[in-house]
């Protein structure tokens, strides 16, 4: 069976990918430096939780290593048939405060993954976790309409933002810049060196084993705060809307791409226009699900926040035959149940 290297494999998305592919019979190498807590200035319960969770699963080998260390990466991944590159600094506000680790992890680390693949005799397929932030502030140039508890795009973009939407001449934040750099490098290495690469411009991914904090993983953070009786600050008015995608639906599109005969592709990957939530709507679902509502305060909008972002996922449907299955309320309920089962981690 094929060997899969998963960078950032002890993170939220990486750990789900590791569990999924090990369950399919692949030999999985999880490669992670467990630095998320340091980058976000939090404790390290989350990194250790997923790391210890994966220890119990057959066919998974855990390696502590940094994607910025090419020799270590080469030593542990040169024989991989597939690389799922999830390692990244993922918080927008953190990138604005301290852009250096954002650049070194997201740009240099991504280049190292590509060099690993280019130099390998196996020419591994690559899954790259990109982001909707590559479109930057251009998204805010789309006209939005205001409703009671949400904003929505004008009719032209009612199906969401497509892959050919402009990425130029706009603010991105350092995070958006770093991920866009990796996005473009992935595309070019596929063209130049014949590598099978799938670039997935992800919207809001949420689910179990996600340790959301205020500046990253908002669906999870709202759920944790609600269950733990913690106050929530909303930056803006709470009507901002995102399409949300449960993590198991995300891993399924990775697998679908890897099994396809498509040599490369860029895919907007989210819940699409049928699976969306505003912040206020999520609070309502959480209250309905838990019987609780956190104290809410409002603050100024954060840099480059988008009033609406919805992925147009028609290309993924057309090319891969993929579409999300798990509705937001169902997914949030699964997340709430997991938090309840693991309350001691959040205390």
Q: What is the pLDDT of residues 167-193, one digit of tens each?
A: 999 999 999 999 999 999 999 999 999
Angle at CA of residue 213, ends 207 and 214, nearest 5°: 120
- Residue 264 CB-half CA count within 13 A: 15
175, 185, 235, 264: which one is catalytic?
175
- What is the model's pLDDT at position 108? 98
Q: Distance between CA 57 and CA 44 in Å, rounded?
A: 21
Percent of the chain residues topping a pLDDT of 70: 97
pLDDT confidence tier of residue 46, bands split at 50, 70 and 90: low
| Mean pLDDT score, 102-121 | 98
Q: What is the pLDDT of residues 204-253, one digit of tens each?
A: 999 999 999 988 899 999 999 999 999 999 999 999 999 999 999 999 99
Q: Which residues contact 130 (CB under 8 A, 6 or more apart)?
A: 179, 180, 182, 183, 186, 199, 200, 201, 202, 266
287: left (phi over 0), alpha (psi -120 to 50) or beta: alpha
Q: pLDDT averaged over the chain? A: 95
Percent of the chain residues topping a pLDDT of 90: 91
Helices (H), 148-268: 173-193, 218-227, 247-259
Q: Which residues contact 131 (CB under 8 A, 6 or more apart)?
A: 175, 176, 179, 201, 202
- Secondary structure (3-state) at 286: helix
On the question of pLDDT at 304 being above 90, the answer is: no
* 159 burial level (CB within 10 Å; 0-12, 13-18, 19+): middle
Range 150-155 contact pairs with CB under 8 angstroms and sequence separation of 24 or more: 150/239, 150/241, 150/276, 150/278, 150/280, 150/281, 151/239, 151/240, 151/241, 151/278, 151/307, 151/308, 152/241, 152/308, 153/308, 153/310
On the question of pLDDT at 39 being above 80, the answer is: no
> Rounded to a whole number, what is the distance in angstroms from the first to the last CA of the chain?
41
- What is the model's pLDDT at position 93? 85
| Mean pLDDT score, 286-295 | 97
The strand pairing partners of 202, in sequence order, are 131, 269
* Structural domain boundaries enclosing 105: 3-346
The structure tokens listed for 280 are 């206020």
| Mean pLDDT score, 39-59 | 80
Record the pTM: 0.96
Torsion sign, CA atoms 91, 93, 98, 103:
positive
Number of domains within the chain: 1
Domain of 121, CATH number, reads 3.40.50.720
- What is the model's pLDDT at position 43? 60
| Mean pLDDT score, 155-174 | 96
The b/e string for 89-116 (b: 16+ C-beta within 10 A; e otherwise) is: bbbbbbbbeebebbbebbbbbbbbbbeb
Q: Distance between CA 30 and CA 54 in Å, rounded?
A: 9
- Kindly report which listed range (93-97, 121-125, 284-288) carries the lowest average pLDDT score: 93-97
On the question of pLDDT at 35 being above 90, the answer is: no
Q: Distance between CA 202 and CA 128 in Å, rounded?
A: 10
Contact yes or no for 306/140 (Cβ under 8 A): yes
On the question of pLDDT at 342 being above 70, the answer is: yes
- What is the model's pLDDT at position 190? 98
For the question of residue 254 being annotated catalytic, the response is no
On the question of pLDDT at 340 being above 90, the answer is: yes
Residue 254 CA, distance from chain mean position: 12
- What is the model's pLDDT at position 154? 96
On the question of pLDDT at 40 being above 60, the answer is: no
Contact yes or no for 99/174 (Cβ under 8 A): yes
């Amino acid at each position: 069976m094929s060997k899969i290297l998963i960078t950032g494999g002890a993170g939220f998305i990486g750990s789900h990918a590791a569990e999924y592919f090990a369950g399919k019979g692949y030999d999985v190498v999880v490669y992670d430096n467990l630095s998320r807590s340091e980058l976000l200035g939090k404790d390290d319960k989350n990194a250790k939780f997923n790391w210890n969770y994966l220890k119990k699963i057959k066919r998974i080998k855990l390696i502590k290593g940094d994607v910025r260390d090419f020799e270590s990466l080469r030593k542990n991944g040169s024989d991989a048939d597939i690389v799922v590159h999830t390692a990244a600094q993922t918080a927008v506000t953190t990138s604005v405060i301290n852009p250096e680790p954002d650049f070194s992890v997201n740009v240099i680390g991504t280049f190292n993954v590509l060099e690993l693949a280019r130099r390998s005799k196996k020419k591994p397929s690559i899954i790259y976790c990109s982001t909707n932030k590559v479109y930057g502030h251009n998204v805010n140039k789309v006209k939005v309409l205001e409703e009671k508890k949400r904003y929505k795009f004008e009719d032209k973009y009612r199906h969401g933002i497509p892959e050919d939407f402009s990425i130029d001449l706009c603010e991105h934040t350092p995070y958006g810049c770093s991920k866009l750099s990796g996005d473009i490098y992935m595309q070019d290495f596929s063209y130049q060196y014949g590598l099978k690469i799938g670039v997935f411009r992800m919207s809001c991914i949420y689910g179990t084993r996600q340790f959301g904090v205020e500046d990253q993983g908002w669906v999870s953070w709202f759920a944790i705060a609600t269950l733990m009786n913690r106050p929530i600050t909303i930056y803006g008015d709470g009507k901002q809307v995102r399409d949300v995608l449960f993590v198991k639906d995300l891993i399924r599109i990775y697998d679908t791409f890897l099994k396809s005969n498509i040599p490369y592709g860029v895919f907007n990957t989210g819940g699409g226009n049928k699976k969306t939530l505003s912040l206020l709507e999520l609070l309502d679902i959480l209250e309905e699900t838990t019987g609780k509502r956190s104290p809410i305060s409002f603050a100024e909008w954060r840099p480059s926040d988008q009033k609406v972002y919805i992925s147009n996922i028609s290309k993924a449907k057309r090319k891969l035959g993929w579409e999300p299955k798990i509705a937001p309320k169902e997914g949030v309920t699964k997340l709430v149940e997991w938090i309840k089962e693991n309350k001691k981690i959040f205390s």
